[in-house]
Amino acid sequence: MKLRQQLLLFLLIFTAVVSAQTITRKAYPAPKVTPEVQRIRSTMNPMRLKAEGITLPEAVDNSKSKYFPPVINQDGGSCAQASSIGYVFTYEINRLLNRDASGSADNRFAYKFSWNMLNDGEDQGGFAEQGFYLAQRYGMMTEADYGESGLYQFRWASGYDKYLKAMRYRVKDILSFDAADLTSLKRWLYDAADGSSTGGLLTFSSQSSGWTINDRYDGPSRTGYHSLLTHLATSGAHAMTIVGYDDLVEFTDPNGVTQKGGFIVANTWGTFSHDHGRFYLPYWFFTSHQHTDLVLSSKMQAVRVTTYEPKVVFKIRLKYSSRNDLSFGTDFRNDGNTTSTPLYTYAQAFFNAGGDYPMQGQYLGDEIEIAIDASSKAGALATDGDVFFLAVKKAAIGKTVGDGTVEAVSLIDYRGAEPIEYACVATSLPTAVKPGITAFYVKLSDNRKSRYIVSASPYKYEENGTASSRTFVVRTANGKAMKMGFGNMTADGQQVDIRIGD
């Protein structure tokens, strides 16, 4: 009886494993190459590397490095962001900072953060370079800060501190490789072309519906995987990650010729797919097989990354019902001028994005707190003439025109020994978001004229029974002259507003 139970348990486990390995994935159409995608591609740096003076090993497997995260089981059509952000960006930041990707969710980056910024609030695919560009121009949120998100929530996180930390993790350069240039690709995988002890990763795209993968490969290899792609797919679109290579892998082409070598691909379909989420992709498909970019891409992408410390950041809290109407721009002047028209530079994040949903996503709340970097033109030190401008721009995007209010605006200045938060005192808040630009500014010197309520019971600042309107000059403890005025004294003289400034 016990043996029978054990056999039954084995069969259940075996069935579950086979079912997980043969699960049918939805095939997504190839995304459109929009003018925005073309513009991003025009900024990428073509790479052609040499291996002169360097003996490349027979095999490299960067997925065994501590910098590589656990295998991802992607949601929906998020493969491009799961590859570019979940794998490549996470790996490169951890390689830069020498951190263990498995050690903490703070050491991994949320591919759903970028996917839900880029998918127009729909379950659809995109391009890896779009996620890289968002990380270059805004930053990328960690898994710890982003948290959980259902597939059809298309969630945006709320919280100034979360977005502030996201700004610190950046792509420095987006790199483009010829997929047939094996020398350059292997050199990048080996030492990232700079002598590093661990190489980089690459992302590429192909069709994935109808491919043939031999999950019982037992031919030669140095890295020991047992899944080998033997025939390209015929439909669908999918992005994946190359984590290494193995020159010993053998593949018999359609003409019966044995071809040597293959890349190690990490997929984003969970650990039950292929061999613990990995398979070999023979070099031959890139170097000798004739196909279109739709079937298998002729280019691969990689990144160099950096960390960044913003100097001045807007903190914005708003309620709005259709987030893709909105975009956020900033400008700066150091001459105290608040009347001439600003020339706004718009943030890459929240840029007419996210679909016709409330600010936090479908089925979620309409109130959100975000951060917008205002550092680009600011000087190294704060001055009283510094004025920072914010535009909340509303356009009729999508099927629904939303409405809502900006609840709070402040500016946090990190240029001194300690951060200083300056309130927006020029505009009454909350204020409705109007069509076009709803403008705000924070002038640092305005905050030096803040109103403070103090106890004034022993004193009376009165002239003819009312609070004096005169301006007094007082000297502070450090000898600086300051102006002081009084107002709003209570009828019993127990409180009075004291206004101080330069």
Distance, in Å, from the CA atom of 320 to the CA atom of 430, rounded to the nearest integer, reads 12
Burial tier of 415 (Cβ tally within 10 Å: 0-12, 13-18, 19+): middle
Under DSSP, is residue 418 helix (H, G, I), strand (E, B) or coil?
Answer: coil
- Judged against a pLDDT cut of 90, whether residue 470 lies above it is answered with no
For residue 296, report the phi and psi dihedrals to the nearest 5 degrees: -155, 125
Amino acid (one-letter) located at 27: A
Distance of CA 191 to the CA centre of its chain: 25
Distance, in Å, from the CA atom of 63 to the CA atom of 73, rounded to the nearest integer, reads 16
Under DSSP, is residue 481 helix (H, G, I), strand (E, B) or coil?
Answer: strand
Q: From the CA atom positions of the chain, what is the Rg in Å? A: 29
Under DSSP, is residue 284 helix (H, G, I), strand (E, B) or coil?
Answer: helix
Kindly report the number of other CB atoms within 10 A of residue 461's CB atom. 19
| pLDDT tier for residue 51 given thresholds of 50, 70 and 90 | confident
Average pLDDT rounded to a whole number, residues 372-392? 96
The answer to whether the CB of 132 falls within 8 A of the CB of 301 is: yes
Q: Which residues contact 77 (CB under 8 A, 6 or more apart)?
A: 26, 28, 119, 123, 124, 125, 126
Distance, in Å, from the CA atom of 63 to the CA atom of 136, rounded to the nearest integer, reads 24
The answer to whether the CB of 319 falls within 8 A of the CB of 303 is: no
Average pLDDT rounded to a whole number, residues 248-267? 97
Token pair for residue 98?
A: 């020498």
Pairing of strands 367-373, 404-413: unpaired
Kindly report the number of other CB atoms within 10 A of residue 111's CB atom. 28
Average pLDDT rounded to a whole number, residues 203-228? 97
Which element (helix H / strand E) includes 314? Answer: strand 312-320
Tell me the percentage of the chain whose pLDDT exceeds 90.
81
Nearest by Cα to 84 from 55, 118, 49 = 118
| C-alpha separations of 224 from 60, 79, 263, 275, 280 in Å | 12, 25, 13, 10, 10
Look up the CATH number of domain 312-447.
Answer: 2.60.60
Nearest by Cα to 189 from 178, 179, 199 = 199
Under DSSP, is residue 40 helix (H, G, I), strand (E, B) or coil?
Answer: helix
pLDDT tens digits, one per residue of 121-130: 999 999 999 9
Amino acid (one-letter) located at 457: S
Would you give the DSSP letter of residue 25? P
Distance, in Å, from the CA atom of 140 to the CA atom of 167, rounded to the nearest integer, reads 6
Distance, in Å, from the CA atom of 245 to the CA atom of 264, rounded to the nearest integer, reads 5
Nearest by Cα to 488 from 458, 459, 451 = 451
- Judged against a pLDDT cut of 80, whether residue 90 lies above it is answered with yes
Average pLDDT rounded to a whole number, residues 448-464? 50
pLDDT at position 487: 61
pLDDT at position 213: 97
Would you give the DSSP letter of residue 496? E
pLDDT at position 52: 80
- Judged against a pLDDT cut of 90, whether residue 360 lies above it is answered with yes
- Judged against a pLDDT cut of 90, whether residue 32 lies above it is answered with yes
- Judged against a pLDDT cut of 80, whether residue 450 lies above it is answered with no
pLDDT at position 498: 62
Q: Which residues contact 12 (CB under 8 A, 6 or more apart)?
A: none
Long-range contacts of 482-489 (CB under 8 A, 24+ apart): 486/461, 489/456, 489/460, 489/461, 489/462
∠ CA 409-415-419, rounded to 5°: 55
Strands lying side by side in the sheet with 436-443 = 345-346, 326-333, 387-394, 436-443
Look up the CATH number of domain 26-305.
Answer: 3.90.70.10
| pLDDT tier for residue 295 given thresholds of 50, 70 and 90 | very high
pLDDT tens digits, one per residue of 72-89: 999 999 999 999 999 999
Q: What is the dihedral of CA 232, 273, 302, 112, to 10 degrees?
A: 120
Between these two residues, 17 and 238, which has the higher pLDDT value?
Answer: 238
Distance, in Å, from the CA atom of 161 to the CA atom of 462, rounded to the nearest integer, reads 45
Weakest-pLDDT range from 173-187, 192-206, 460-474: 460-474
The answer to whether the CB of 79 falls within 8 A of the CB of 240 is: yes
Average pLDDT over the chain reads 90
Tell me the percentage of the chain whose pLDDT exceeds 70.
85
- Judged against a pLDDT cut of 80, whether residue 482 lies above it is answered with no
Between these two residues, 84 and 11, which has the higher pLDDT value?
Answer: 84
